Amino acid sequence: MNDQTELLVCVKCRRGQEMAEEGRRPGQALFDAIEQLDRPDGLRVTAVECLQNCDHGCTVALRGGDRWTYVFANVDENDDPAMILDGAARYHATADGLIPWRERPEHFKRNCVARIPPLEMPHV
């Protein structure tokens, strides 16, 4: 297993819904649900203000060490917390962040917004 992995969860997400400024947002509900689940050592969950993907449901990102960073959208705060943690654990177990296609949660295959190379990328 590689060093630390961070799962970023946008807590400001409204999932395109109108709601009071002080109302509990779907993104916050997603973060709270994920926080209640067991996770592997070395996986940190961090609430962030905004991932600028507001029109595409709740959004999360995975980053860490020399891995690729991934951003995933359309996450449902009620149905997807366990799936997100499963994907995060699979990501954490890789050296480069590249989960083999067949091992990725189906949601990861269909809802990847961006894949960002590591800061220090080996030359090919």
- Give the model confidence (pLDDT) of 50-71 as tens digits: 888 878 889 999 999 899 999 9
Contact at 8 Å (CB) between 57 and 74? yes
CA–CA gap between residue 84 and residue 94 (Å, rounded): 16
Residue type for position 76: D
The arithmetic mean of pLDDT across residues 101-115, rounded, is: 96
pTM: 0.90
DSSP letter, residue 25: P
Q: What is the CATH number of domain 5-116?
A: 3.40.30
Structure tokens at 87: 């994907």
